Amino acid sequence: MDMIFYKKAFVLIAFFTGYFFDSQVRPDVIYGDYNTFWTSQNNSGSYVTAQDTNNLLGFSVGGVNYSSGVNPTLFGSRVGTYVNENYRAFPTSFSVGSTSTNYLIGIPRYVNGVLQDQTNRPSLSCDTSLGYYLRDGLNGLDLSTAVFNIPRQDLSFYVNVLADINPNCITDNIPDIIVTQVGAPSTTFDVFKFTDINGNTVGVQKDVNFSSVTPSGTALWSFYFAGNCPHNYNSGSGFSGTTRDVRVLTFKLSDFGITLANYQSAVKFVQVLSGDSDVAFSAYSTNSLSLYCLENAVTSGTVQDTKIGITSQGRAAAADNWPMVRKGGFLALESNRKAFVPTRVSTAGLANITNPVEGMMVYDTTENCLKVYVNSSVGWKCFNRKTCP
């Protein structure tokens, strides 16, 4: 892992939670980008309340600062020496399963300084899946959006279809997984584990009682009913305009009993929700895991026809309803004898593409792969397997 060094030093107290310990301990400090740079606690120990969008910038474990990858330059300028990690939210999707009045979507009380209330935002659209609120924000690490009291169910993520747990990260003592709880927890346990293809636990599972975890800070929320469409604003007493505690825990692969002997058997990471879970996100280090995004399709909302198409198969729009039959696209290309050829450029030639935008695609003739531009920090990456956005 890369170490970035700055002149000023910043030493913080340790964190960790373990399967065989009686209690879990939160990171001493977590950092966010609310109001540019948010520190979860000041030196007096008082909580600092985040009232607007707040993406996780990093945290401290065992006296070591870890950047989340959201803005390492800003993070390093504030904390000094740090480990340059890159965490991303698991690509969560889940079933609704409840119309309970405490099943809620939470968003920050203010968005870009604008109050989110009955007047300014009376409802949230159901065209946005509930899973989106567990993977939105920068790198999906938004601490200020969440789903509260998610019905008990398993969230499963394919992490090792082609043995893509990095064995070099099993014993490197760097956190590999981050989990969150941003509401009032019950004493019911959330369970985290790796499983094999048949659903058997690989290594050991981690049972977490979040009510025993000391909060790291607080956030101010606006709440919307998750079980109804549209998701209407919750104006009830004790909900919108009130704060909730923020809890963050990290795990290493070795905490789950993942070893060089069994890591290739671990094909899924599973989060078993307690039924009272209030999740902002669960995240993984991209240095440690390569994730395969096998999500359920979003089927809600209005189906839109594709209006423009190019075909070599002699289709007539009126007779074949083409390209309208290809739903949800801007442009449909179709042929049974011709191939689509994107722009071809060498790796060195990528530097000649000025002002690239996220999602731009080219074929890299040096590395022989289709490349996608991710962002200014990551740059161009080969799109050669089904991995996470």
Q: Quick one: which of 219, 40, 203, 196 has its CA closest to 116?
A: 219
Contact 108, 219 (CB under 8 A): yes
Average pLDDT (317-345) is 83
Contact 310, 285 (CB under 8 A): no
Residue that has been written with the tokens 């000391």 in this structure: 214
Question: What is the spatial distance between Cα 76 and Cα 107, in angstroms, rounded to a whole number?
Answer: 28
CA gap 92, 131 in Å, rounded: 5
The pLDDT value given to residue 45: 60
Residue 336 burial by Cβ neighbours in a 10 Å radius (0-12, 13-18, 19+): exposed
**Residue 3 above 50 pLDDT?**
no
Q: Which two tokens stand for residue 51?
A: 């009232």
In 3-state terms, what secondary structure has residue 371? Answer: strand
- Phi/psi at 233 (nearest 5 deg)? -65, 135
Instruction: Find out whether 226 and 109 touch, Cβ atoms under 8 Å.
Output: no
* pLDDT per position as a tens digit, 237-249: 999 999 999 999 9
Q: With a cut of 70, say whether residue 184 has pLDDT above it.
A: yes
Spatial separation of the C-alpha atoms in residues 166 and 179, rounded to whole Å:
20
Q: Is residue 173 packed enough to be buried (19+ CB in 10 Å), middle (13-18) or exposed (0-12)? A: exposed
CA distance 26 to 29: 8
Evaluate if residue 59 carries a pLDDT over 90: yes
pLDDT exceeds 80 at position 4: no
Q: Under DSSP, is residue 134 helix (H, G, I), strand (E, B) or coil?
A: helix
Q: In whole angstroms, how large is the CA radius of gyration of the chain?
A: 23
Residue pair 66/234 in contact by the 8 Å Cβ criterion: no
pLDDT at 25 over 60: no
Q: Using a pLDDT cut of 70, give the percent of the chain over it.
A: 84
pLDDT of 182 strictly over 90: yes
182 vs 102: CA distance, rounded Å: 14
pLDDT at position 155 is 80
- Per the CB < 8 A criterion, the answer to whether 145 and 108 are in contact is yes
Mean pLDDT of all residues belonging to the chain: 84
Among 181, 317, 136, 160, residue whose Cα is nearest residue 253: 160
**Neighbour-count burial of 360, counting CB atoms closer than 10 A to its CB (0-12 exposed, 13-18 middle, 19+ buried):** middle
Residues 45, 36: contact at Cβ < 8 Å? no
Identity of the residue numbered 46:
S
210 phi, psi to nearest 5 deg: -65, -20
Lowest mean pLDDT among 102-111, 179-188, 227-236, 357-366: 357-366
**pLDDT beyond 70 at 21:** no
Residue 136 tokens, joined: 């939105």
Cβ(159)–Cβ(269) under 8 Å? Answer: yes
